[in-house]
Structure 1
Amino acid sequence: MGLVSSCPEDKIGRVIACLTSLTGEHENSSSALLSEMDVREMEKYCRGGSTAMLDCITVLFDNCTKAEDRQILVRFADRQRLNSTFIRFCENFDVYSSNSGCISSQEQSVHSCIEDSKRPWVPLGPMHRFCRHFKTWHECRTGPVTRACGRQTGEVIGIFLQGITPPICQGYLHRDTESTAHVSSACYSHLVVGVILSFLFVHSLTKR
């Protein structure tokens, strides 16, 4: 994931790309916190305070200084919350690293859970689909890891994934089609719709 040197036109797509990959390798984003690459990335952060995800978000915010750009970005990324989430994760890094083998072995179960979650979908608006993606991401990683690797390990994964969920989706209930209605009338909704539909399409291709 190349770092931008100016505020990109597709700033929503960029912030989503930042949030869906720990390592900066977007094609591997489906494995978030499951792969050995993710273990190394989180260890690097906990030792030195730098990680591709936070670096990506920092550069994006630093380059998008106009009020209208910031107004959009803060709906998708809360930098203070992200920093706190990573710091809290480091406090429990030993739990994560000592169980990394068990966590990695759940990747197929996670993938199956995500695929199964798509089947009962009814037609939904783009924001609902977008937030449901993050909710499913959370549930399908936390559930298998908790069952196979223990409650404490599952909590470490779950708290982290909840922490990186976009503010616009915090509190979202994926079985409640009204739970994202408050964002549907946002003044930039036409922009959000286009970018999110593109994101969902591209992300679906990386799963195949």
Structure 2
Amino acid sequence: MKKLLLLFSLLLLSQAGFSQISQGYKYVSGTVMYNTDRFETYRTHQVTVMPEINFMTGDYFSIGLAAGLVHEKYQQEVMANSPYQIKTTNLYGIAPKIKFFTPVGEKVYFSPEVSVPLLFGSTTDTQGLANNQESTTTYDRNRWGFNAGMGLVFVLGDRFTLEAKMAVINYMVDVQKFDSEELVEEEFDFGFDLNNAGLSVGYFF
């Protein structure tokens, strides 16, 4: 956190002007996020890579489309030669979005956004048995939902920006399709969680 605050302070000292946040411009950006968590004997890892392109359809307003992948690994940590479980999920999809820019300083913008992620892929569930045998099952998995977040955009020159953003409202429907049944789970998060935070670099042209 101290390093992040220091970075923000340095960016605020930038002396470059910026006029590209207006109608007619386009910008490309992207987000790379990594999350990990532990629950009892289980550990989860998640990597998200989402490049995006946005079109300034008005001054301080844009519409855009993100496309990328989500990789997740759910692994049980156990002793050697003990039963275990590993779930690996790979999802690919898009996320249409709209974004607003509100100046809060000469080179800083408050930037709320909303997006609708649509993800499709599969999960491979591997279960290890005590006799060193494995059972592997692969099934389809889809996710869709709604995200609303906010960010701070810092100007890094005539073309580049750095944005720190966080999802504040996150609603997601997770559909797991097995051979004989379909499991649907809903998740709703509201509030400030560093697991939903990320950094992105933007380029206007």
Q: TM-score range by the shorter chain?
A: under 0.3
Higher relative contact order (CA 8 A, sep 6+): 1
TM-score, with structure 1 as normaliser? 0.24
TM-score (normalised: structure 2): 0.24
Greater strand percent: which structure?
2
